Amino acid sequence: MFQNRAEAFALVLPAAVFAGVTFLVPVVVLLSEGFRGADGWTIQAYIDFFSHPLNRTVFVRTLKLAAMVTAVAAVIGYAAAFAIVNLPPKGKGRMIGLVVLPLMISPVARTYAWIVILGRTGIVNQALTSIGLSDEPIRFLFTETAVFIGLLQLFLPLMIISLVSALENMPRDAVPAARVLGANWFQVFWKVILPLTREGLVIGGTLVFTGSMTAYITPAILGGSKVLMLETLLYQRVTVANDFVAASVIALILIVMAFAANLLLKRLATARNKR
Amino acid sequence: MSDSRYLSLEKLTLSYGNTIAVGDMNLDIGKGELVALLGPSGCGKTTTMRAIAGLLQPTSGTIRLDGVDVTRVSANKRAVGLVFQSYALFPHLNVFENVAFGLRLKGIRGRDLENRVEGGLKTVGLSDFASRKPAELSGGQQQRVSLARSMVMEPKVLLLDEPLSNLDARLRLEMRAELQRVQKQSGITMIFVTHDQVEALALADRIIVMLNGAIEQIGTPEEIYNHPVSPFVADFVGFENVFALENGKMKTTAGMADLSSDAPGGAVGLAWRPSMVALGSGPYQGTVRGSSFAGGTREYLLDTPLGPIKAETDASLAAHEFGAVLNFDLPVAKAAQLSRLG
């Protein structure tokens, strides 16, 4: 398309300069902060971080919640996506519209809506006490469960959309062909649908996992300081303690985990497929 | 259980919402028969086939296979094979694993599995392709893998959806011969769906012509080709000049017209192929409105008091000019006699 590489380079240059100045440089500066010691480079900050029990708890909790949200989103997502792609075209469009709708509402508003539902005087507690299932309000807010529900609701649409497009790209008759060849629905899923939609699952899974791990608003509002996650811990380290070294450590951990999750999901998805 | 009722559909009705795709259909198919379901798109032939395979649940009626009512038996337990129009090979599996797919589900393993898959691939001449992926095969080869994948399951009935429609003309002839050979060799009961009468005539022992969700005519290829019973079937197999009869006269757009000889008893309509129209002499007159050269023959469209008439002559005869007025005859003795008009 281009006469020489210089032309292509010239076109990319403005974007590259902007991204470099505003993104790459600050990230490198911030991350190098975590490796700087009194006498040269060191990983002491990382050793310090993980030797602190609270930090370990937060690290494990973040991984656990992100993994659980991803797993549950995958299960619910496959069921919903399978139903959606089998709808007639008009209904399909409407359902996808409904799935995408929450993405158009600010996550702050969506998360505060959970307080209306799960709070001490919220809808769930009023229902439970009025029918006598519970004598006093149950505490839902500031628990891991609340954060889990909030994150699931926040990221489920991304999983559904990824799986819908993956299912739609599957050869049209692959499922009926497997049925006629003797596969029950469980076998149809494991031997045909899963291997043929694995790219959608990897994309959806990566989006949900990294999204859950790096979400700030939802754990801040629904978990508060009782259920700290890496992201809320990072914010706390900076604003409360002015501790940029710890912030740098947490930031790198989050980046590494995101890449690791993507690689792991790819592995899992392809391993199924080898024979 | 007699062999002539190996597969029977009894009052089979299938509907999508309020639309009836197949209505009250009765059909018996014998063991080892090669049957064509022939009809235009939307006639219900594919729907019927999917119902036999168990992929669609009938609204009412019964499907019996080998003496057993299978109406409520799900697709994976029916022992019916289906070769899809799109072939529906599994793109993530190689040819060997595609053919082995159903056998593995049956719990067949090891040497036995290899023998049966290799046997299936040999039958369709693809032994050397076992390790290829479907995307590396031509359309004809994919078709044969799909056939082998169904055959190795030893189904009671093998269904084929438009088996030749995605192939080019040359491959189509090859595959047609292949299907006949495989069917004769295995003695399997085969039903194939097609919209192409040439394909149905060439392949089938028996043809079932369908229209609007109902059977229009059942017969051998000779019967269907020479003795269509309704205007639709007549037109479909090339009797393009169709007239209803009333009191021994032809009903035309311009009123009643005399036949050139006495009407046969019992017929409610007559139909002529373009080649049966005798150009040059006869009681009728028409003006040439169009002509086209078709290799061995020349086709004419005539404007006549009877309405438009299609005629055909040997191409070696001198061509008639556009606008020429010609005498012609519709010989009653040659016409197909229709027994119903609906």
- Tokens in use for B168? 């080019």
Q: Where are the beta strands (DSSP E) in B30-78?
A: 34-38, 60-65, 68-69
The pLDDT score that the predictor gives to residue A210 is 94
Report how far residue A230's alpha carbon sits from residue A233's, in angstroms, rounded to the nearest whole number. 5
Do B207 and B100 lie in one domain? The reply is yes
Same domain, B23 and B145: yes
Residues B207 and B302 in one domain: no
Q: Do residues B205 and B36 lie in contact, with contact meaning Cβ atoms separated by under 8 Å?
A: no
- Distance, C-alpha B151 to centroid of its chain: 21
Kindly state whether residue A103 falls inside one of the protein's structural domains: yes
Q: How confident is the prediction for chain B on average, in pLDDT?
A: 92
Name the domain boundary from B182, B210, B229: B229
Q: Is residue A28 part of a domain?
A: no
Do B161 and B294 belong to one domain? no
Give the integer Cα–Cα distance in Å for B280 and B234: 25
- Are A210 and A151 contacting, i.e. CB atoms less than 8 angstroms apart? no
For residues B258 and B215, state if they share a domain. Answer: no
Q: What does the alpha-carbon distance between residue B97 and residue B129 come to, in Å, rounded to a whole number?
A: 11
Q: What are phi and psi of B313, to 5 degrees?
A: -130, 170
* Mutation to test the A interface, candidates B93, B101, B156, most A Cβ within 10 Å: B101
Q: What is the least distance, in Å, from the CA of B214 to any CA of chain A?
A: 25
Separation of alpha carbons B215 and B23, rounded Å: 9
Q: How far is B3 from chain A (nearest CA, A)?
A: 24
Cβ B182 vs Cβ B150: under 8 Å: no
Residues of B with CB under 8 A from a CB of A: 50, 53-55, 74-78, 80-82, 84, 86, 88-93, 97, 101-102, 105-106, 149-150, 153
Mutate: best of B46, B50, B65, B82, partner A, most A CBs <10 A: B82
Which pLDDT score is estimated for A267? 85
Rounded-to-integer distance, Cα A91 and Cα B76, Å: 29
- Is residue A2 one of the residues assigned to a domain? no
Nearest to B97 among A172, A184, A275 (CB): A275
Same domain, B169 and B286: no
- Does residue B245 sit in the same domain as residue B225? no
Residue B215 shares a structural domain with residue B240: no
Across the interface, whether the CB atoms of A182 and B82 are under 8 A apart is answered: no
B146 to chain A: closest CA residue: A177
Gap between the Cα atoms of B25 and B61, Å rounded: 8
Residue pair A98/A105 in contact by the 8 Å Cβ criterion? no
pLDDT tens digits, one per residue of B144-155: 999 999 999 999
pLDDT tens, position by position, A104-137: 999 899 888 988 898 888 888 888 888 888 888 8
**Which residue range forms the structural domain that includes residue A159?**
53-271
Among residues B229, B254, B275, the one where a domain terminates is B229
Q: What is the CATH number of the domain that holds A68?
A: 1.10.3720.10
Do B142 and B188 fall into the same domain?
yes
Q: Provide the pLDDT for residue A179.
A: 96
Domains: count for chain B: 2
What the block records as the tokens of B17 is 């919402």
| Residues B178 and B299 grouped into a single domain | no
B72 and B163 both lie in a single domain? yes
Strands B19-29 vs B7-16: parallel, antiparallel or unpaired: antiparallel
In the prediction, which pLDDT does B105 show? 96
CB distance B339 to B267 below 8 Å: yes
Instruction: Answer whether B153 sits within 8 Å of A191, measured CB to CB.
Output: no
Please give the Cα distance from A24 to A18 (Å, whole number): 9
Beta bridge partners of B338: B269
Q: Report the share of chain B in percent with pLDDT over 90.
A: 75
Cβ-based contacts under 8 A for chains A and B:
69
Rounded to two decimals, the ipTM of the complex is: 0.85
- CATH number of residue B93's parent domain: 3.40.50.300
Tell if the CB–CB gap between B102 and A182 is shorter than 8 Å: yes
Question: Are B55 and A174 in contact (CB < 8 Å)?
Answer: no
Dihedral sign, Cα of residue A113, residue A119, residue A122, residue A123: positive
Cβ of A187 under 8 Å from any chain B Cβ? yes
Number of domains in chain A: 1
> Is A13 among the domain residues?
no
Rounded CA gap, B241 and B247, in Å?
Answer: 19
Share of chain A above pLDDT 90, in %: 66
- Average pLDDT over chain A, rounded to an integer: 91
* Residue A118 placed within a domain: yes
CA distance B207 to chain A (A): 25
Domain boundary among B229, B259, B283: B229
Considering the domain architecture, whether residues B250 and B215 belong to the same structural domain is answered as no
Mean local confidence (pLDDT), B171-195: 89
Q: Please answer yes or no on whether A183 and B105 come within 8 Å at the CB atom.
A: yes
To the nearest whole Å, the CA of B90 is away from the closest chain A CA by 6
Domain that holds residue B302: 233-338
Touching check for A88 and chain B: CB below 8 Å? no
| pLDDT for the residue A4 | 78
- Tell me the whole-structure pTM to 2 decimals: 0.83
Using alpha carbons, select from B61, B72, B2 the residue that is nearest to residue B32: B2
Contact between B80 and A180 using a beta-carbon 8 Å cutoff: yes
Whether A201 is in a domain gets the answer: yes
A18-39 burial, b for 16+ CB within 10 Å, e for fewer?
eeeeeeeeeeeeeeebbbeeee
Q: Tell whether A31 is covered by a domain.
A: no
CATH number at residue B301: 2.40.50.140
In a domain, A258, yes or no: yes
| End-to-end Cα, chain A, rounded Å | 41
Task: Judge: A273–B76 Cβ closer than 8 Å, yes or no.
Answer: no
The Cα of A209 is separated from the nearest Cα of chain B by a number of Å equal to: 26
Going residue by residue through chain A, which has 275 residues, state the pLDDT in tens, using 9 for 90 and above.
667 788 888 999 999 999 999 999 988 988 888 898 878 888 999 999 999 999 999 999 999 999 999 999 999 999 999 999 999 999 999 999 999 998 899 989 988 898 889 888 888 888 888 888 888 888 888 999 999 999 999 999 999 999 999 999 999 899 999 999 999 999 999 999 999 999 999 999 999 999 999 999 999 999 988 899 999 999 999 999 999 899 999 999 999 999 999 898 888 777 654 44
